[in-house]
Amino acid sequence: MRMATTLSVLVLGAGGVGHAVVTSLDGGIGRVDPFKDMKNRPQAGHGTNILLVGTDGRETVTPEEKEKYRLGGAPCHCTDTMMIVHVSADRNRASVVSLPRDSYAEIPEHTDQNTGTHHNQHPVKINAAYAEGGPALTVRTVEHMTGLKMDHYLEVDFTSFMKTVDVLGGVQICTARPMKDSYTGLDLAAGTHELDGGQALQYVRSRHTDGSADLGRMQRQQRFMAALIHKATGSGVLMNPVRFREVASTLLSSVRADQGFGAEEILSLGRTMRGFSPASSEFATVPIGQMSFPVKGIGSTVKWDPAKSRKLFAALREDLPLAQVRGVQDGKGHAPGAMVEVAPDRIRVQVYNGTRTDGLGRRVDDALRATGFRTTGTPMAGGARDLPRTLVEYDPRWDRSARSLATALPGAELRPVKGLGPTLKVTAGTDFRAVTRVRGEVAEGAGEFETVRGDQVVCP
Burial of 237 (0-12, 13-18, 19+ CB in 10 A): buried
Convert the pLDDT of each residue in 369-422 to its tens digit: 988 899 999 999 877 778 999 999 999 989 889 999 999 999 999 999 999 999
Q: Kindly tell me the sign of the dihedral angle through the C-alpha atoms of 120, 125, 131, 133.
A: positive
- Number of Cβ within 10 Å of residue 443's Cβ equals 25
Burial of 73 (0-12, 13-18, 19+ CB in 10 A): exposed
Among candidates 142, 167, 164, 145, which has minimal Cα distance to 153?
142
Q: Are 288 and 302 in contact (CB under 8 A)?
A: yes
pLDDT at 332 over 50: no
Convert the pLDDT of each residue in 20-30 to its tens digit: 555 666 666 77
Tell me the mean pLDDT in the region 328-356. 74
Q: Rounded CA gap, 3 and 150, in Å? A: 19
Between 61 and 173, whose confidence is greater? 173
Element (H, E) at 394: strand 391-394
Among candidates 424, 407, 432, which has minimal Cα distance to 355?
432
Quote the pLDDT of residue 261.
82
**Strand 48-55, strand 171-175: pairing:** unpaired
User: What superfamily does domain 3-333 belong to in CATH?
Assistant: LCP protein (3.40.630.190)
Share the mean pLDDT of the chain.
Answer: 80
Q: Are 81 and 157 in contact (CB under 8 A)?
A: no
Best-predicted range by mean pLDDT (111-125, 190-204, 439-453): 190-204
Between 174 and 163, whose confidence is greater? 174
Q: Rounded CA gap, 127 and 77, in Å? A: 9
Convert the pLDDT of each residue in 220-252 to its tens digit: 888 888 888 777 766 666 667 677 777 767 766
Tell me the mean pLDDT in the region 84-92. 87
Quote the pLDDT of residue 359.
94
Element (H, E) at 249: helix 241-252
**Strand 104-107, strand 122-125: pairing:** antiparallel
Beta bridge partners of 55: 79
- DSSP E strand stretches across 210-298: 256-258, 281-285, 288-295
Determine phi and psi for 141, rounding to 5 degrees: -65, -45
Confidence of residue 135 (pLDDT cuts 50, 70, 90): very high
pLDDT at 458 over 50: yes
